[in-house]
Amino acid sequence: MSIETGTYRLGPDDGTLTVRTKRTGAAAKAGHNLVIHVTEWQATLEAGEEPARTSIALGVDATSLRVHEGTGGVQALGDDDKASIQETIDDEVLKRQEIVFRSTSVEAAPDGGTIRVEGDLTLVGETRSIAFELTVDGGRLAGSAVVKQSDWGISPYSTLFGTLKVVDEVEVELDAVLTTS
């Protein structure tokens, strides 16, 4: 692993945590694919001399998700639309409950540029295992994970009698600069 031993703190000041949603259903053309930025989050990466001694923890304020962009749809998203989406996420989807991730295993790939992370993700009070890869490149940490909402008991948002729905799988992306604490 090409991360120097030490403790690194990550957050919105030195990185982005993004959620990408897509739409489906007979009325999908009316909806938008969304790019949502998480504005309040903290991660800690404790890099040991060996990958097995490395851990990653993440905490997210679930009420800090903000629609950054909406593509597709019949018309552009306005500020009222974005506020309505935020309210739906807060009240119906994530229910204002903190999101937490704790690694249980971190393994370096032979090339040293990627690490495979496994751990426990807690969403709306449900904890499930998840695995993903992160790329380490020149002091930068980047990667993504696919979260299937229904695995955590979340019913993907739908409207228009179910003819417009958010796809069950959402992509969560991290891109941050590693700074020691």
- Domains and their CATH numbers in the chain: 6-177 (2.40.128.110)
pLDDT greater than 70 at residue 2: no
What pLDDT was estimated at residue 108?
83
Q: What is the pTM of this model?
A: 0.92
Mean pLDDT of 51-55: 86
Residue with tokens 């969560």: 172
What pLDDT was estimated at residue 131?
97
Structure tokens at 116: 């495979």
**Strand, coil or helix: 93:** helix
Distance CA 30, CA 73 (A): 5
Q: What is the pLDDT of residues 87-113, one digit of tens each?
A: 999 999 999 999 999 999 999 877 768
Average pLDDT of the chain is 92
CB distance 44 to 54 below 8 Å: no
CA atoms within 13 A on the CB side of 166: 24
Q: What is the pLDDT of residues 116-169, one digit of tens each?
A: 999 999 999 999 999 999 998 888 999 999 999 999 999 999 888 878 899 999
